[in-house]
Amino acid sequence: MALNHIWFLIVGFLFIGYFVLDGFDFGVGMSLPFLGKDDTDRRVLINTIGPVWDLNETWVLVAGASLFASFPEWYASLFSGFYLALLLILVALILRGVAFEYRGKGETTKWKRTFDWMIVVGSALPALLWGVAFANIVNGVPLNAQHIYTGNLFTLLNPYGLLGGLTTLTVFWLHGLIFISLKTDGEIKDRARALAKKVGYAATVIAASFLVWTLVVHFSVIGFVLTGIAALALIAAQAANWIKREGLAFTLMVLTIITAVGALFAALYPNVLPSTTDPAFSLTIENASSSQYTLTVMSWVAAIMIPFVLAYQTWTYWVFRKRISRKNIPATAH
């Protein structure tokens, strides 16, 4: 397989890793007003991701840098055309990060509530907009002969794009709720499991509609297989949640996201950004990739660094594997 095709798979792997890891971060953040009955509850929820959220978020930086180096034409057209949507995602992620760091610096209820809502918005908005962005990448956008995006933000807010956004929003929320049930004890765990049952119904219907639509328009055998696995894994995750098998449920949600995002990349291949103006204007793996020399150097770097990153992240999760409950939260935070 040519290096540019291998790098298409690597970019896909990095974005899948980001959605798996930051996906449950988003879900936890969106759950604050639903599961946090008081300040102690909300601190428990935040502490479930406190040691890992920033590490999870670095995956999008690595994915973006890899995209820039391996497919500069794709990067240029994507980041210029989707500029406002990606800017909103960036601002939301910054607000969320600031809120995590500054929430505990004040004593008043108003102070903490303000940062709580920054966490909620900073989690929900990226969860929605990532789905909108990837749906439009797969379905195509208006590009001219110079591969310049000729639409605007509202062009991206089409029915397929919005359905993709609702899919990532609900699936990430479900992912986060199951993670909470895995990482907590007591009433919060019970509330998370109960809410996951309700969110799971919506996530199943919305995700199934989006993946079937994708499969009908962009059919491939690999996409069909991955879509089937994603659907079965999503249903099985909810069944595991019902029988209180949190570890199994979380593993199945990870499989759901891996196969669902994999199905989107299968639908996109061999394009990287189709043009709805004229198929001849589409960006493909062949016309958007870097030189052979650049890809060769990057391949050596990836071969060394990716295993190291995976090992370090695995160790981090092992260190912070214990459950959290209200009794682990001091009476007063300073």
pLDDT tens-digit readout, 38-62: 999 999 999 999 999 999 999 999 9
Confidence of residue 267 (pLDDT cuts 50, 70, 90): very high
How many angstroms separate the CA atoms of 119 and 28, rounded?
A: 9
Confidence of residue 95 (pLDDT cuts 50, 70, 90): very high
- Residue-wise pLDDT for 151-180, tens only, equals 998 999 999 999 999 999 999 999 999 999
Confidence of residue 264 (pLDDT cuts 50, 70, 90): very high
**Above 60 in pLDDT, residue 312?**
yes
- Residue-wise pLDDT for 178-231, tens only, equals 999 999 999 999 999 999 999 999 999 999 999 999 999 999 999 999 999 999
What amino acid occupies position 76? A
DSSP output for 230-279 = HHHHHHHHHHHHHTT-HHHHHHHHHHHHHHHHHHHHHHHTTEEE-BSS-G
- List, in order, residues 6 or more apart from 283 with CB less than 8 Å away: 73, 74, 77, 143, 147, 271, 272, 273, 274, 275
How many angstroms separate the CA atoms of 38 and 33, rounded?
A: 9
- Residue-wise pLDDT for 114-141, tens only, equals 999 999 999 999 999 999 999 999 999 9
Domain positions in the chain: 3-326
Note whether 287 and 157 are within 8 A (CB). no
Note whether 211 and 262 are within 8 A (CB). no
pLDDT at residue 50, as a whole number: 93
How many angstroms separate the CA atoms of 183 and 197, rounded?
A: 17
Q: What are the counts of helices (DSSP H) followed by strands (DSSP E) for the chain? A: 13, 2
- For domain 3-326, give its CATH number from 1.20.1630.10, 3.30.1860.10, 1.10.10.10, 3.30.379.10: 1.20.1630.10
Residues of the chain with pLDDT > 90, as a percent, come to 95
- Residue-wise pLDDT for 76-92, tens only, equals 999 999 999 999 999 99
